[in-house]
């Protein structure tokens, strides 16, 4: 039960932060989901740092991992919104935005994990 509560709290905080950032950044005149891109890249960097600390020190216990990596990062990032926004681009025939958003999201998210782990060395 403790583990579920840790994930619940971390996920709740992450989701609220994602909502605020998305509202702030997606509320621009651009027809591009900067908020979703920012939270997904930021969340990838965050999980890289969290897991990098775990790899380096072995001091990050299971409770902290569940709270931060599973809960917070899981609640903060959003694959479903990313998929929906890409569906929107495809439905509207905006193939350039689809390609740019998909490629940028995947490449930068993976790079952010590597950077996060590197920063903990």
Burial class (CB in 10 A: 0-12, 13-18, 19+), 6: buried
Binding residues for Na(+): 74, 77
CA distance linking residue 13 with residue 43, whole number of Å: 13
Residue 59 main-chain phi, psi, to 5 deg: -95, -10
Q: Give Cα 45 distance to the centre of its chain.
A: 8
Annotated binding residues = 74, 77
Residue identified by tokens 């965050």 is 46
């Amino acid at each position: 039960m403790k583990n579920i509560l840790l994930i619940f709290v971390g996920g709740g905080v992450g989701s609220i932060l994602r909502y605020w950032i998305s509202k702030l950044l997606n509320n621009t005149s651009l027809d591009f989901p900067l908020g979703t891109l920012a939270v997904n890249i930021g969340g990838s960097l965050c999980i890289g740092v969290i897991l990098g600390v775990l790899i380096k020190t072995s001091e990050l216990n299971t409770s902290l991992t569940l709270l931060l990596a599973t809960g917070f990062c899981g609640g903060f990032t959003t694959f479903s919104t990313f998929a929906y926004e890409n569906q929107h681009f495809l439905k509207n025939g905006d193939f350039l935005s689809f390609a740019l958003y998909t490629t940028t999201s995947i490449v930068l998210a993976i790079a952010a994990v590597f950077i996060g782990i590197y920063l903990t060395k």
